Structure 1
Amino acid sequence: MLPAIFLLLACQLAGEAIHRLTGLALPGSVIGMVLLLGWLALVRRETPRLVAVTGWLTAHLAVMFVPAAVGLIDEGPVLSRYGAALLSATLVSTVMTIVVTALVFRWALVRFVAVDPDAPSPTAKQGSSEEAAR
């Protein structure tokens, strides 16, 4: 378990170092995820160990929000000045994400699932089988 945790932390640290040294517009954590993806593509034996660690991290995800929430306390003046704008931007982006996800899902259903327009719907099949049973 420790080697998998070390791998996660090493990728994040390397991503942060690359971000600071190069000044890329990507956050260090995103660069670290790309590095981790590349590592997993090269070294397939890491996957089972990472599954156990990421399962544990996901199960205890709520604990990881505590430092971020405590960090917000230090930003009281900024939040009082820009809080309404931040809240509205968060709400608008959440709604937009839900709408775009739904539209992409509908597009993917039409594009990748072969649907026969002449085939009866599942409810029609159910109704006809009930009539046949009578």
Structure 2
Amino acid sequence: MLSAIFLLLACQLAGEVLHRLTGLALPGSVIGMVLLIGWLALVRRERPTLSAVSAWLTAHLSIMFVPAAVGLMNEGPALERYGLGLAVATAVSTLVTILVTAAVFRWALHRFTPGEVGRRPVAAEPTS
């Protein structure tokens, strides 16, 4: 379990280092995720342990937002000035994300599912 946590943190750190050294336009966390995907493609034995750690982190995801919420409390003047715009932007982007996700899911369902999708089966008429 500790090795999986170390792997996550090492990929994150390596991504941040690469970002700062090379000046890539990608955030360090994204670079670290790409490094993690590459590692998992090469070393398949890591997957079960990493799955267990990821499941635990996902189950306790709300704890991860507490520091961000506490940090937000210190930004009173910025929230007073830009709060309405931030709220509108968050609501609109959430709605757009939901709509795009639904559209992509429907497209993928029709594209990759054999047979006709979306049609209800015709019920056999009773014979008398």
What is the percent sequence identity of the aligned residues? 69
Structure with the largest fraction of helix: 1
| 2:99 paired residue number | 99
Cα distance in 2 for residues equivalent to 1:116 and 1:9: 42
Q: Report the number of matched residues.
A: 127
TM-fit CA distance, 1:111:
2.3
- How far does the alpha carbon of each residue in 1:34-90 deviate from its partner, in whole angstroms, 9 at most, with x for none? 110011111111111111111111111111111111111122221211111111111
| 2:82 paired residue number | 82
Cα distance in 1 for residues equivalent to 2:120 and 2:51: 40
What residue ranges of structure 2 are gaps of 5+ in the alignment?
none
Determine if the alignment matches structure 1 residue 67 to structure 2 residue 67. Answer: yes
With over 3 angstroms needed to count, the CA separation of the structure-2 counterparts of 1:79 and 1:115, relative to structure 1, is same
What SS does structure 2 have at the residue aligned with 1:25? coil
With over 3 angstroms needed to count, the CA separation of the structure-2 counterparts of 1:77 and 1:116, relative to structure 1, is closer
CA RMSD of aligned residues (A): 2.1
TM-score (norm 1): 0.84
| 1:115 paired residue number | 116
Q: Which structure would you say has the larger Rg? A: 1
Cα distance in 2 for residues equivalent to 1:8 and 1:116: 39
What SS does structure 2 have at the residue aligned with 1:115? coil
TM-score (norm 2): 0.88
TM-fit CA distance, 1:110:
2.6
- How far does the alpha carbon of each residue in 1:18-44 deviate from its partner, in whole angstroms, 9 at most, with x for none? 111222221111111111001111111
Matches within 5 A, 1:37-76: 37-76=37-76
Maintained 8 Å contact 2:110/2:117? no
What residue ranges of structure 1 are gaps of 5+ in the alignment?
none
Cα distance in 2 for residues equivalent to 1:69 and 1:116: 43
Cα distance in 1 for residues equivalent to 2:52 and 2:109: 33
Cα distance in 1 for residues equivalent to 2:8 and 2:56: 13
What SS does structure 2 have at the residue aligned with 1:37? helix
